[in-house]
Amino acid sequence: MTPAAHLVQAATLGQAAEDPSLMALLAAPWTLVAALLLSKFARVLGLEDTGGGHGLHRESRSEPKFLVGGLALCAGLALWQLLEVPAAALGPREGGFLLLAAAVGLIDDRSRLGLGARSKFLLQCLPAAAYAASAWPAVPWEWTVAALLAALSAQNLANTWDNADGVLLSTAAAALCVARPAWGLMLLALLLCNLRPRGGARILLGDSGSHLIALLVLCEPRAVGAFVLPGLDLARVVLVRRREGRPFWRGDRAHLAHRLQARGASAPAVAGLLLAASLPAILGFALGPRPWGPWAGAGATVLLFLALLRGTPDVDGRGMPRVSSPETRSAPRS
């Protein structure tokens, strides 16, 4: 058991997940229905994004986007809670920090220009503190602090990994399907709305959805392998921003997903490639023997990450290939 895992909850949920209620699987189609219904009321809810806000991630567009994925996932979790066997359902503390995470993201989603970096970080501290406090005083204070830092890191990793259609949903679904099939199926149901073969997604997770998914993954220690590739990508992007003299917290389009897009990959291809690179770490944490299984899986994901970097052009903060980059000159033209 690692300090980053929610210790008390991990022990109870890990045992209960072995005997879930089959009726709880109905939460997945309900999540899809909820997403489609909520998209009809996105403008009334203040969750219609027509572009122009939140920096480079929200460009001007003719087709509006609906940031209702987080609310739809909340609806799915609510039905799951009602149908699941009592021993496997969430307790008040767990439900509390999950709702807080969704609420913090919802505040940002409803803000046209987005929250400032400081305001967003301070709000993220609320669900992180609730997550850490739910294990206290059953664990030493050092582990409680570690849980707080893990929750803060997870929210930001999930938020930045949700930078292309279907990437966060596919990665988190694969990680959760092993230990929490109902949760994984809910994310796969949302993926049907979030990843379209042609054209961009109309229904997005928003910060509400990404923050909620971050703490859902932390609820299951066997699923935390989903954070390995996002962590590598975020660390690389932060180093690039610092090297270029840009604020490390300011979002841009220089992530691995954007390099794949610059290489000509479609949205499903981007999500599929990043999922394939994440799978060794996901399987290593979920199914690998201890202690070397997670390390071996993470190491394989690192190698795949480096291979994807080598095979894609370097891009600037707008997601455009750098003309002077050797990687750009050597990359095949599509």
- The three-state (H, E, C) secondary structure of 210-242, written as one string: HHHHHHHHHCCHHHHHHHHHHHHHHHHHHHHHH
**What pLDDT digit, counting tens, does each position of 85-127 carry?**
777 788 889 999 999 999 999 999 998 777 888 999 999 999 9
Asked if the structure places residue 64 within a domain, the reply is yes
Residues 6+ apart with CB under 8 A from 142: 3
What is the per-residue pLDDT for 145?
Answer: 92
Higher pLDDT, 325 or 169: 169
**Taking every pair of C-alpha atoms in the chain, what is the biggest distance, in angstroms?**
60
Asked if the structure places residue 20 within a domain, the reply is yes
Asked if the structure places residue 2 within a domain, the reply is no
pLDDT classification of 203: cutoffs 50, 70, 90: very high
**What pLDDT digit, counting tens, does each position of 65-90 carry?**
999 999 999 999 999 999 887 777 88
Asked if the structure places residue 17 within a domain, the reply is yes
Kindly report the number of other CB atoms within 10 A of residue 319's CB atom: 18
Distance, CA of 65 to CA of 88 (rounded, Å): 35
DSSP codes, 125-187: HHHHHHHHHTTTTTS-HHHHHHHHHHHHHHHHHHHHH-SSTTHHHHHHHHHHHHH-HHHHHHH
What is the per-residue pLDDT for 106?
Answer: 96
State mean pLDDT over 230-241: 95
* Strand, coil or helix: 331: coil
Distance, CA of 145 to CA of 132 (rounded, Å): 7
Asked if the structure places residue 59 within a domain, the reply is yes
Asked if the structure places residue 215 within a domain, the reply is yes
Q: Which residue has the tokens 């990043």?
A: 274
Distance, CA of 279 to CA of 15 (rounded, Å): 24
Distance, CA of 124 to CA of 155 (rounded, Å): 7
Q: Which domain holds residue 275?
A: 7-330
Question: What's the number of domains the chain is made of?
Answer: 1
268 preceded by cis ω (within 30°)? no
**What pLDDT digit, counting tens, does each position of 28-65 carry?**
999 999 999 999 999 999 999 876 544 444 444 557 89
Q: Which residues of 136-175 are buried (b: 16+ CB within 10 A; e: fewer)?
A: beebeeebbebbbebbbbbbbbbbbbbbbbbbbbbbbbbb
Asked if the structure places residue 37 within a domain, the reply is yes
Asked if the structure places residue 1 within a domain, the reply is no
Higher pLDDT, 191 or 17: 191
Lowest model confidence (mean pLDDT) among 17-21, 32-36, 206-210, 245-249: 17-21
What is the per-residue pLDDT for 21?
Answer: 64
**What pLDDT digit, counting tens, does each position of 209-232 carry?**
999 999 999 999 999 999 999 999
User: Does residue 312 surpass a pLDDT of 90?
Assistant: yes
State mean pLDDT over 183-195: 92
